[in-house]
């Protein structure tokens, strides 16, 4: 993303082998930062971006597994809210449930930009799961029945950590596979096909 979109990108971090670059996009300073996979990993990078680098607005881009029939591989989703099967927020909130939600401002902007650019986006709830390879192949179906759009592994943590800092966060996702049909995008499609999501994230970041 830094190579393709940022001008004058310089590596600002190699901590734990996770690369971060800062450059400009259409004249505005933007950083892109790897976060690793799963709640513990993104929680560390989100916390450090907010606590140590002074970031105030975090936009996750990444892939997800579609849980609804109408969602095709390559479709872009905006995660309005994120449920989770993780216990991490119950630990944080003394056994109670926090409601991880996107920044309305970022969500609204991303949605408007998508409409302007004629990118068809779906807005709704996602499931932030602690498992990628589940022992129960049908476990997603209950979430699907409640209208959850897709499974991924980071957004609930991103929204929670950002909320703790009074910062804004949004997850923009592309369906890389479908739990409904069992289809999966190729490695090539994953590496090259997700420009709509990246451009929407960058435009939202600077708007
Ligand atoms: N589950 C969890 N995370 C994912 C998936 C999935 O099916 N696809 C892409 N990231």
Q: How many CA atoms lie within 13 A of 167 on its CB side?
A: 22
Ligand 1 touching residue 177 (CB < 6 A): yes
Distance 151 CA to ligand 1 centre (A): 5
pLDDT at 1: 93
Ligand 1, pocket-test mutation among 42, 64, 157, 175, most atoms within 8 A of CB: 64
Q: For ligand 1, is residue 151 a contact (CB within 6 Å)?
A: yes
Place of tokens 């990444």: 62
Q: Which pLDDT score is estimated for 24?
A: 98
- Per-residue pLDDT of the chain (207 residues), as tens digits, is 999 999 999 999 999 999 999 999 999 999 999 999 999 999 999 999 999 999 999 999 999 999 999 999 999 999 999 999 999 999 999 999 999 999 999 999 999 999 999 999 999 999 999 999 999 999 999 999 999 999 999 999 999 999 999 999 999 999 999 999 999 999 888 877 799 999 999 999 999
Tell me, using a 6 A CB cutoff, whether residue 153 lines ligand 1: yes
**pTM listed for this prediction:** 0.97
Q: How far is the CA of 148 from the centre of ligand 1 (A)?
A: 13
Give the whole-angstrom CA distance, residue 199 versus residue 66: 21
- What strand order describes the sheet that includes 20-25? 7-13, 20-25, 28-33
| Residue for token pair 């140590």 | 52
Domain residue spans in the chain? 57-206
Q: What's the confidence (pLDDT) of residue 187?
A: 85
Confidence at residue 189, expressed as pLDDT on a 0 to 100 scale: 80
Residue nearest to atom 9 of ligand 1 (CA): 64
CA–CA separation, 49 vs 60, rounded Å? 13
1 three-class SS: coil
As a whole number of angstroms, the distance between CA 125 and CA 106 comes to: 15
Q: Is the distance from the beta carbon of residue 35 to the nearest atom of ligand 1 less than 6 Å?
A: no
CATH superfamily of 57-206: Nucleoside phosphorylase domain (3.40.50.1580)
Q: Dump the DSSP string for 38-106.
A: SHHHHHHHHHHHHHTS---EEEEEEEEEE-STTPPTT-EEEEEEEEES-SHHHHHTTTPPP--B--HHH
Tens-digit pLDDT profile for residues 30-52 = 999 999 999 999 999 999 999 99
């Amino acid at each position: 993303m830094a190579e393709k979109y940022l001008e004058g990108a310089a590596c600002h971090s190699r901590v734990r082998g996770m690369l971060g670059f800062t450059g400009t996009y259409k004249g505005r300073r933007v950083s892109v930062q790897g976060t690793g996979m799963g709640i513990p990993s993104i929680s560390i990078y989100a916390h450090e971006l907010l606590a140590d680098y002074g970031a105030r607005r975090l936009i996750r881009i990444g892939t997800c597994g579609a849980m609804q029939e109408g969602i095709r591989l390559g479709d872009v989703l905006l995660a309005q809210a994120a449920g989770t099967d993780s216990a991490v927020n119950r630990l944080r909130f003394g056994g109670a449930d926090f409601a991880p939600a996107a920044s309305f401002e970022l969500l609204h902007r991303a949605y408007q930009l998508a409409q302007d650019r004629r990118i068809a986006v779906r807005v709704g709830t996602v499931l932030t799961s602690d498992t990628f390879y589940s022992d129960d192949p049908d476990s997603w179906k209950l979430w699907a029945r409640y209208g959850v759009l897709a499974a991924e592994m980071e957004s609930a943590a991103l929204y929670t950590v950002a909320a703790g800092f009074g910062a804004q966060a949004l997850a923009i996702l592309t369906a890389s596979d479908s739990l409904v049909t069992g289809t999966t995008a190729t490695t090539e499609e994953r590496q090259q096909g997700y420009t709509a999501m990246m451009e929407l994230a960058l435009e939202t970041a600077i708007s």
